[in-house]
Amino acid sequence: MWRGALALAIALSMLFPLVGATLIGVLLLDILVLQKVRPLRRLLT
Res 8 pLDDT > 80:
yes
**How many beta carbons lie within 10 A of that of residue 19, not counting itself?**
14
Higher pLDDT, 32 or 45: 32
pLDDT of 1 = 74
Q: How far apart are CA 30 and CA 16, in angstroms?
A: 22
pLDDT tens digit sequence for 18-33:
988 998 898 888 888 8
pTM value > 0.85? no
Domain-by-domain residue ranges, the chain?
2-44
